[in-house]
Chain A
Amino acid sequence: MVMIFGIPLQAFLGQLLIGLINGSFYALLSLGLAVIFGLLRVINFAHGAQYMLGAFVAMLLLQYFGINYWFALVLGPLIVGLFGALIERTMLSRLYKLDPLYGLLFTFGLALTIEGTFRYLYGAAGQPYSVPSQLAGGTNLGFMFLPIYRGWVVVVSLVACIGTWLLIEKTKLGSYLRAATENPVLVQAFGVNVPMLLTFTYGLGAALAAFAGVLAAPIYQVSPLMGSNIIIVVFAVVVVGGMGSIMGAILTGYMLGIAEGLTKVFYPEASNIVIFVIMAIVLLLRPAGLFGRDA
């Protein structure tokens, strides 16, 4: 049997694939964070809560309205995105003039409030949500049994990541967005509604988080804690990738997912800290992150 680092090749390939699947969630979530930070300079601590909200919206839509997974995949991000836009318009936008610390504290408080409310309403053990029947089951790849749903997650998150990147880097709307961050006053002078753009951006970031949440609902228990469990890791991903670098966030998400997956084979006890060790090393050697431009 072919061995790699003392484990069979088959197991190794399996773990690589699992890392890629988890990396998909990291990539989607860190992408939203990077978009919000890059364009609004807000460190969005409510991102985990928005991810959790996405999963809960999917679950509640099914429970109360019988709306299935496929519609939830569209409606979930839409509802949470609108909620995000509302929050930005009514509250967050008032903090832009102040130190970024205020934005961070505000979103952190918001996250605690949302999570606390859901914990009060639904308890910590969470609620079940089934894999849609079209994606149930799995296929044997020879080296591992791949649940079809997990394969779907990888594909769809890649599409979402690339789509977002294209939207911001290659479209006219994206160029307005980027210009508005560089020099809001000048862009406004050209007749572009900058506050509206910022609201849209925050809504987009929240919608991306909710999208990841709906994707996660059938895999993980839909629980009020699911956001806070993942958010710190995602912050580490953004820091390693370079704050504000969108492509950096995507690539780092996948890379760290794989690094974590492999750690689970070689030294499982360290699997929840390996990402932070990498973060520390990267910060020491390249303070701006792997893909960040030195400011």
Chain B
Amino acid sequence: MRKTLLTSLAVLFASTGLASSIAFAQSASDGKVKIGILNDQSGVYADFGGKSSVEAAKMAVEDFGGKVLGAPIEIVDADHQNKPDIASNIARQWYDTEQVDAIMELTTSSVALAVQAIGKEKKKIDIVTGAATTDLTGKQCSPYGFHWAYDTHALAVGTGGALVKQGGDTWFFLTADYAFGYSLEQQTSDFVKANGGKVVGAVRHPLATTDFSSFLLQAQSSGAKVIGLANAGLDTSNAIKQAAEFGITAGGQNLAALLFTLAEVHGLGLEAAQGLTMTEGYYWNLDDQSRAFGKKFFERTKKMPNMVHAGTYSAVTQYLKAIEKAGTDDTDAVAKALHEMPVDDFFARGGTVAANGRMIHDMYLLQAKKPADSKEPWDYFNVLATIPGKEAYMDPAKSGCELVK
């Protein structure tokens, strides 16, 4: 019996691997501009980006007219399951045999770093909207890599800064145990220390943890004024919910959800989320321009976009404009155009692209409303402040990227 069980398990794992490799087999052709959206479509970040990002990319293509330089534009997509190895295989296949010209979205920092390295080696463009680590435009920057929507530095300055200003001078971190978590913890720590604060401890938890009580208890006994949640997606939602349960927020400790967006607030509910401060590069209810996109997006997906969805639309559109400007889809020419062109759309106002690939634009410091103050569905935030791009993002000269002279 045991033998059959083990064989069965082996069959099972083999078959799930197989299914994922069949899922993205698409036919290839030339004379086309092909954009691949590669992200988490079934795991903890599936609402953060997921299928809705694919819809955003398709909307961008339709609004562009479906053609650039007379060639049809095609969107392909795949689920990388948050695994860099799966993502790398898909990226290689897309670039090598399926004439994909650019890969975008790339939620999960470990995945984004892996795919950007492949793009650099193969001379292909990638535009990251879903991942956060500043390494993408730092030590591991690529002349063909762009980082569009936000990054860990902007989150540290935004959310971290707001809490330090409120008197949160001692911090304890709950950190997701991979590239993104480290990067976010590191930069928030630096920011806290630079402002006279102290970090009293940190604990690393595996990605997709359901029970945080053990970690929260450690955070509680540390006595820190602020518990920094250097994680994302479902992990953060669970941590917030359980922190309330264990009387942590009631006991006077503040939570800093360093990466938390509209999508997660929607899942958590305003009742539990009220009062949380967070930083996003886009909020649908900001002004007429952002509302117009929000409404259009809502008609298609039945949800309002967060900065990843809006950022993906913006990135696809800008990429297509760059091809038009360059008059070719040659990687060097398009990358050059992307670096030169200002970004001005509903997402980024007066955005610029630095030599390290960082798109610098204003960020918004948001606070989740009380349930009673929410006037319509998805009306979740008060905008506390606009953080100018130059403050939010790291000075490219200090990023450690070799492309910045």
Contact = CB atoms under 8 A, between A and B. Distances in A.
Contact of A128 (B12, B247, B269): B269
Contact of A124 (B50, B268, B303): B50
Contacts of A226: 210
B44 A147 contact: no
B205 A127 contact: no
A108 interface: yes
Interface in B7-38: 7-8, 11-12
A125 B267 contact: yes
B47 A124 contact: yes
Interface string A250-287: 00000000000100110011011000000000000001
Contact of A221 (B217, B221, B234): B234
A249 B203 CA distance: 31
Given A145-B220, A220-B238, A225-B234, A271 B206 contact: yes
B151 interface: no
B217 to A, nearest CB: 5
Contacts of A15: 214, 217
Interface residues of B, number: 51
A279 to B, nearest CB: 12
Contacts of A50: none
A124 B217 contact: no
A22 B233 contact: no
B93 interface: no
Interface string A32-49: 000000000101010000
B213 interface: yes
B46 A123 contact: yes
Q: How large is the interface on A (under 10, 10 to 19, 20 to 34, 35 or more residues)?
A: 35 or more
B275 to A, nearest CB: 16
A11 B221 contact: yes
Contacts of A11: 217-218, 221
Contacts of A225: 43-44, 208, 234
B247 A124 contact: no
Contact of A138 (B7, B234, B247, B303): B247
A261 B218 CA distance: 12
Contacts of A14: 217, 221
B209 A126 contact: no
A41 B97 CA distance: 46
A131 B271 CA distance: 12
Interface stretch (A64-72, A78-86, A99-107): A99-107
A2 interface: no
User: Which secondary structure dominates where chain B touches chain A?
Assistant: helix
A21 B269 contact: no
A130 B4 CA distance: 42
B4 A125 contact: no
A290 to B, nearest CB: 14
B1 interface: yes
Contacts of B234: 124-126, 221, 223, 225
B206 A269 contact: yes
Given A22-B211, A264-B215, A100 B4 contact: yes
Of the listed residues B8, B12, B203, B264, the one surrounded by the most CB atoms of chain A closer than 10 A to its CB is B8
B245 interface: yes
A10 B220 CA distance: 12
A219 to B, nearest CB: 7
B241 interface: yes
Given A43-B8, A101-B4, A125-B233, A219 B245 contact: yes
Interface string A146-160: 010110000000000
A149 B217 CA distance: 16
A225 B81 CA distance: 13
B204 interface: yes
A257 B4 CA distance: 27
B2 interface: yes
B194 interface: no
Contact of B11 (A100, A101, A123): A101
A287 B12 contact: no
B20 to A, nearest CB: 12
B372 interface: no
A98 B238 CA distance: 42
A238 B275 CA distance: 42
B217 A18 contact: yes
B98 to A, nearest CB: 26
Given A15-B217, A243-B1, A271-B209, 18 more contacts: A10-B221, A19-B214, A99-B4, A100-B1, A100-B4, A101-B11, A124-B43, A124-B44, A124-B46, A124-B47, A124-B234, A125-B47, A125-B48, A138-B247, A145-B220, A225-B43, A230-B210, A265-B218
The 9 closest A-B pairs by CB, nearest first: A125-B267, A124-B46, A125-B47, A264-B214, A128-B269, A272-B206, A147-B245, A145-B247, A104-B8
18 contacts: A11-B217, A14-B221, A45-B12, A105-B8, A123-B50, A124-B234, A125-B266, A127-B267, A145-B246, A147-B247, A150-B213, A150-B245, A220-B238, A223-B267, A225-B43, A229-B208, A268-B177, A272-B206
